[in-house]
Structure 1
Amino acid sequence: MSSPLPDVASSELSQALLPLDWVGMQGIDIPLILDEPGVDAPVHARADLHVNLPVPQIKGIHMSRLYTLLDRFAEHHAVTPASLAALLELMVSSHADCHSTQARLRLGFELLCKRPALITQGLSGWKSYPVIIDAQWQQGRLDLDVSVEVTYSSTCPCSAALSRQLLEQAFLAHFGARPVDSSEVAAWLRQNGSHATPHSQRSVARVQVRIDESAQCLGLLNLINGVEDALGTPVQTAVKRADEQAFARLNGQNLMYVEDAARKIQQALAGHFPSSSVAVRHLESLHPHDAVAFASSGLAFLPKASAEDRLG
């Protein structure tokens, strides 16, 4: 057949003549090349991409053009601020006939990193970090935000203090005021030193930062490492008893309320990014609800509703 295929988007007008903020596609599976140390294979990402449609008379955009641009980008380019800016600019220019002036792209994926054990030489395991990249092109410039999620352990300072008091009371009840030698005390502590266990829990920090458009790379691993260093108690992968003991020591040395965690992270980010925001969540072992805290510096971070979390 040689007859031309119908193109309704070009030949018909919309019944409601209104501009649209964004039109595009969501949840596109795509392999991405990351410019990160130790990440040699492409990661499986899901992409959302859109352009604006400001002219009411134009019925629809060319979604196949956007898909093709994304596919070529993923095949030939690593994800950097410069490559993202070039892709978004192409998305806009590909829709010149639609009078599009803005484009945006969201990329979500899991960054898989190998982490060594705290003590045991040669022992390591894999840890996954959820990452979201939000890039928008408007008025000839790039706005680029990156968010990462880091899981860590948090031990409550109040519960630790209460535990220490119980230990003190148990010590006095056993030994009283009589003189004791260090070996007797050490033997007692081995049996009774954990008279009560302070509540601690797995906790999650979501950190969002604005990346300067002139930056050479995204620096995802540097960001993740900075957050983990600030907290001091990132969760571990493969462990032996020596590693578990070292982790217990780290928790004891880094007691923190949810407020402490948010402040530690925000302080670590200060001066390294044009703007940032932090959302931390302690999945309480004492309560059936969570403790949360938020901090920001020039970048709004909307709290995620608990009902949304539970519904996925």
Structure 2
Amino acid sequence: MNDRLPDVALHHTPAALAPLDWVGMQDIALPVLIEEEGAAGAGLIAARADLHVDLPSPQVKGIHMSRLYLLLDAWAGKTGVDGAGLSSLLHSVVASHADCGATGARLALRFELLCRRGALVTESLAGWKAYPATIDAVWRAGVLELHAGVTVAYSSTCPCSAALSRQLLAQAFEQRFGSQVVLKPVDAQAWLLEHGSLATPHSQRSLAEVRVRLAPNAPLRLLALIDLIETALATPVQTAVKRADEQAFARLNGGNLMYVEDAARRLRLALDGHYLAAQVTVRHLESLHAHDAVAFASLAQAGA
């Protein structure tokens, strides 16, 4: 009796003959080593991974999933996530499927980068903020194509909405004091303290999703990308706050009015010259409507 375990994929011809772009595994739990100065932890971060190889030969029934998993498991948490480490892993993945005719491999990683952010004005006050991040690496014929992405939450106030609120305030002020020839500053101040605040219909949490292409030998520098995005938008959401910080945030939002188009253009200009290519998606999760406002932008450097 033959006790050898059968491998159907090696000996059975598929009923339908056609090449496949990618075949593999998705949503694998693993630790990854992210070396980012300023991020929490000792570099190990919980992540989810997708790992695939191509299947160009129509006659090959399938791939060896266990080979993918074991190679990924041997790599996870032991080698830093950078161009060199990803190239080595994906080269091994392709080599492991030489008997299937594989010529390329790709790895997608999803995780959260946790870092501490200080309050706007209160010294020594800070809190943790988690930034969703992605790494996408594709290896073909010895060439690695590498992309990194982050999502940043910020606050946006619509310029039109603010103008409508200011108009109501101006009308109320005119109604109260329009007949007076002389207006004492103390009376105006007292009125403003009681009546000088109207909500803006569009003032909401918003999301910027930015994906950039990196040179294969370039460091990830995810926090640098996050800092660039938050600086361009100027009103990132806060963590720990006291009343003074909340007031400072109100002032910051009032002086930083933007449509969704403004946010996308700011990011496009801020990214220009820093990366080989970039894609920007901004979403304003509107407080007035039941739908979102969105804008998209992309750029590529010459020769990229």
Both structures adopt the same fold (TM-score exceeding 0.5): yes
Residue 26 (str. 1) matches residue 26 (str. 2): yes
Matched, 1:203 2:193: no
Contact 2:22-2:53 within 8 A present in 1 as well: yes
Q: Distance in 2 between matches of 1:194 and 1:289?
A: 26
Aligned counterparts of 1:20 and 1:132: Cα–Cα separation in 2: 24
**Quick check: 1:35–1:80 contact (8 Å CA) kept in 2?**
no
Amino acid at match of 2:216: E
**Secondary structure, in 3 states, of the residue corresponding to 1:288?**
coil
Secondary structure at the residue paired with 1:166? helix
Measure the CA separation in 2 of the matches of 1:132 and 1:68.
Answer: 22
Aligned to 1:307: none
Shift of 1:288: 1.6
Which is worse superposed, 90-99 or 240-249? 90-99
Task: Tell me the matched-pair count.
Answer: 298
Query: What do residues 224-257 of structure 1 show as CA deviations (whole Å, max 9, x unaligned)?
Result: 1111110011111111100100110110111000
- Structure-2 separation of matches of 1:214 and 1:129: 24
Q: Is the 8 A contact 1:129 1:150 kept in 2?
A: yes
What is the aligned partner in structure 2 of residue 48 from structure 1?
A: 50
Q: 1:198 offset after TM fit, Å?
A: 4.8
Letter in 2 for 1:26: Q
Q: Which amino acid aligns with 1:7?
A: D
Residue of 191, 195, 202 corresponding to 2:194: 191
Structure 1: 5+ residue runs without aligned partners?
300-312
Does the residue aligned with 1:152 lie in a helix, a strand or coil? Answer: strand
How far apart, in 1, do the equivalents of 2:281 and 2:77 lie?
34
Shift of residue 206 of structure 1? 0.9
What's the offset of the Cα at 1:185?
2.1
* C-alpha contact (below 8 Å) 1:167/1:196 kept by paired residues: no
* Partners of 2:200 and 2:300 in 1: CA distance: 40
What does residue 212 of structure 1 align with?
215
Amino acid at match of 1:60: G
Between the aligned partners of 1:245 and 1:280, the Cα distance in structure 2 is 26
1:240-297 per-residue CA deviation (whole Å, 9 max, x = no partner) reads 1001001101101110001101111111111101111111111111112111111111
CA distance in 2, matches of 1:198, 1:61: 54
Contact persistence 1:49–1:106 (CA under 8 A)? yes
Cα offset for 1:24? 0.8
Q: Distance in 2 between matches of 1:179 and 1:274?
A: 62
Structure 2 counterpart of 1:12, one-letter code: H
Distance 1:196 1:51 in 2: 53
The RMSD of aligned alpha carbons is 1.7
246-255 vs 290-299, which moves further: 290-299
Distance 1:26 1:184 in 2: 66
Tell me how far apart the structure 2 counterparts of residues 38 and 280 of structure 1 sit (CA, whole Å).
25
Cα distance in 1, alignment partners of residues 200 and 296 from structure 2: 28
1:293 corresponds, among 275, 292, 295, to: 295
Pair 283,64 (structure 1): closer, same or farther in 2 beyond 3 Å? same
CA distance in 2, matches of 1:122, 1:172: 44
Map of 1:70 onto structure 2: 72
- Asked if structure 2 preserves the Cα contact closer than 8 Å seen for 1:151 and 1:234, the reply is yes
1:182: how far off?
2.5
Q: Which residue of 2 aligns with 1:128?
A: 130
Q: What's the offset of the Cα at 1:144?
A: 1.0
Give the distance between the partners of 1:20 and 1:259, measured in 2 at CA: 39
What is the DSSP-based 3-state SS (H/G/I as helix, E as strand, rest coil) of the residue aligned with 1:79?
coil
Distance, in Å, in 2 between the alignment partners of 1:223 and 1:75 is 23
For residues 251 and 75 of structure 1, what CA distance do their matches in structure 2 show?
Answer: 41
Aligned residue number for residue 308 of structure 1: none
Deviation at 1:196, TM superposition (A): 4.6
Contact residue 106 and residue 133 of structure 1 kept, 8 A = yes
- Provide the residue aligned with 2:185 in structure 1: 182
Change (3 A) 1:170 1:7: same
Quote the Cα distance in structure 2 between the aligned partners of 1:197 and 1:231: 19
CA distance in 2, matches of 1:9, 1:189: 77
Residues 1:102 and 1:171: Cα distance change in structure 2 (over 3 Å):
same
TM-score, normalization: structure 2? 0.93
Identical aligned pairs, as a percentage? 61
Give the deviation of 1:124 after TM superposition: 1.4
Secondary structure, counterpart of 2:291 in structure 1: coil
